């Protein structure tokens, strides 16, 4: 089953908003067994919408359209789709009742503007939206299914999970064509080309399967793609490739499937009955945020100190002022003192300290922008390592987080 995604909206087209919906929908449809053929982003412009639908219908069974369903005048998707499918808008008594109860619960009156959201195409299937006032819609049009969803990510996701994905799975169970399964393995601490060399000639070990390398600031992900007609055949081939990769690069693989390095580290800490605290200078909370992004983290994350100023390093973490004076705030002894201080104050098994020159200013010849010291304190003692991440503030901060988590992972894996 071929699926195309079509985002409608000038905010996405001119780059004011990152299209996170496309990756979410694509991943959800792919994991159901659909082939996502293409994503496209276009303007809120009737002619371009119609031309795009005409084109995508030639190669796709399902088109998922997002955006342009809001209550303001710039939202035209519903009108365009209704006219495209030769339908008319009628007021839905059910949706009106839903809108009234929605507003009532929030202590608001149903305005004329909101009431217009109950005007829905007469033949489309209405898809309930638990998080908003815009209805999702499913149109059947000359052999293609066109699904229209709000652009607000929570609303889109809720309708996908509640209505669209179950429908897709139902359609796919009647199909018997070869399907592609993907399996992801995540590495940390190795460069993309070194990893590729470690694995050897892909034309020899891959056979008809595919392997993609996806580097980011946290490491390199490898995605295995296997196409076969049965689930068993796909599973066997995935296992064969997994074993091949693990034999050669297993020491760099921190996880498989959809899991983050913070989740892996958290699971390990929970299993070991151990805890962690953080002491962050240049990352200012980003490491704590990554760790507490993991549901259930209260079992192993105790707390931390954001010691941005030198005074706070001294007063809140007990760093010796003489260390800062002699070596500077971005130095091995201060990094160690940060981790030691956090570990002592929060009484945890481990603590991570980060101190660096995030940029754009603050660099020197000796310690240029991008110099970051990362330390790990634990039962083994306290270690610190220096990194040079380059001159982009955001990347320095993100790579610091990935590197710090990688250090901890190597220690407790």
Site for a copy of itself in 139-158 (CB under 8 A): 152, 154
- Between CA 165 and CA 161 the distance in angstroms is 6
Cβ nearer to a copy of itself, comparing 31 with 230: 31
Residue 58 interacts with a copy of itself (CB under 8 A): yes or no:
no
Residue 20 interacts with a copy of itself (CB under 8 A): yes or no:
yes
Here the tokens at position 309 are: 């100023």
What is the size of the binding site for a copy of itself (CB under 8 A)? Answer: 106
Crossing angle, helix 165-172 and helix 20-32, to 10 degrees? 30
Cβ nearer to a copy of itself, comparing 124 with 168: 168
Beta pairing partners, 250: none
Residue 251 interacts with a copy of itself (CB under 8 A): yes or no:
no
- Between CA 135 and CA 117 the distance in angstroms is 8
Helix runs in 145-225, H state only: 153-159, 165-172, 192-199, 202-205
- The minimum distance between CB 84 and a copy of itself, in angstroms, equals 18
> What is the contact mask toward a copy of itself in residues 284 to 313, using x (rule: CB under 8 A)?
xxxxxxxxxx-xxxx--xxxxxxxxx-xx-
State which of positions 325-354 bind a copy of itself (CB under 8 A).
345-347
- The minimum distance between CB 242 and a copy of itself, in angstroms, equals 17
> What is the contact mask toward a copy of itself in residues 370 to 389, using x (rule: CB under 8 A)?
--------------------
> Of 26, 129, 113, 17, nearest to 74 (Cα)?
113
Q: Give the start-end residues of each E strand in 150-207.
A: 179-187
Q: How many CA atoms lie within 13 A of 150 on its CB side?
A: 23
* DSSP letter, residue 177: S
State which of positions 169-188 bind a copy of itself (CB under 8 A).
182, 184
Cβ nearer to a copy of itself, comparing 76 with 268: 76
Tell me if 296 sits within 8 A of 262, measured CB to CB. Answer: no
Residue 364 interacts with a copy of itself (CB under 8 A): yes or no:
no
Cβ nearer to a copy of itself, comparing 197 with 325: 197
- Which of 84, 102, 205, 213 is the binder for a copy of itself (CB under 8 A)? 213
Tell me if 202 sits within 8 A of 96, measured CB to CB. Answer: no
């Amino acid at each position: 089953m071929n699926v195309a995604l079509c985002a409608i909206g000038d905010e996405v087209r001119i780059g004011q908003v990152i299209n996170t919906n496309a990756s979410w929908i694509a991943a959800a449809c792919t994991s159901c067994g659909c082939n996502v053929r293409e994503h496209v982003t276009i303007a809120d412009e009737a002619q371009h919408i119609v031309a795009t639908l005409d084109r995508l219908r030639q190669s796709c069974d399902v088109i998922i359209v997002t955006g342009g369903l809001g209550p303001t005048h710039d939202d035209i998707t519903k009108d365009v789709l209704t006219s495209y499918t030769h339908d008319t808008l009628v007021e839905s008594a059910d949706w009106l009742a839903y809108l009234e109860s929605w507003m009532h619960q929030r202590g608001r009156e149903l305005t004329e503007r909101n009431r217009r959201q109950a005007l829905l195409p007469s033949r489309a299937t209405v898809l309930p939206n638990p998080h908003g006032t815009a209805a999702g819609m499913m149109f059947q049009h000359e052999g293609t299914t066109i699904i229209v969803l709000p652009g607000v990510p929570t609303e889109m996701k809720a309708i996908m999970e509640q209505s669209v994905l179950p429908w897709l799975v139902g359609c796919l169970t009647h199909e018997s064509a070869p399907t592609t399964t993907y399996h992801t393995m995540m590495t940390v601490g190795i460069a993309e080309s070194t990893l590729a060399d470690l694995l050897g000639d892909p034309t020899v070990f891959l056979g008809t399967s595919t392997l993609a390398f996806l580097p980011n600031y946290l490491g390199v992900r490898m995605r295995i793609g296997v196409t076969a007609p049965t689930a068993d055949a796909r599973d066997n081939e995935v296992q064969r490739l997994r074993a091949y990769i693990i034999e050669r690069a297993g020491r760099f693989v921190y996880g498989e499937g959809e899991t983050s390095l913070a989740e892996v580290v958290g699971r390990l800490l929970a299993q070991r009955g151990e805890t962690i605290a953080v002491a962050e200078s240049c990352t200012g909370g980003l490491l704590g945020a990554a760790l507490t992004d993991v549901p259930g983290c209260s079992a192993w994350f105790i707390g931390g100190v954001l010691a941005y100023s030198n005074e706070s390093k001294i007063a809140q973490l007990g760093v010796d002022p003489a260390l800062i004076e002699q070596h500077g705030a971005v130095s091995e002894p201060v990094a160690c003192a940060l981790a030691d201080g956090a570990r002592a104050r929060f009484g945890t098994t481990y603590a991570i300290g980060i101190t660096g020159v995030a940029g754009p200013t603050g660099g020197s010849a000796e310690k240029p922008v991008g110099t970051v010291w990362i330390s790990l304190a634990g039962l083994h003692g306290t270690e610190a390592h220096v990194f040079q991440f380059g001159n982009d503030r955001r990347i320095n901060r993100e790579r610091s987080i990935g590197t710090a988590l990688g250090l901890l992972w190597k220690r407790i894996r």
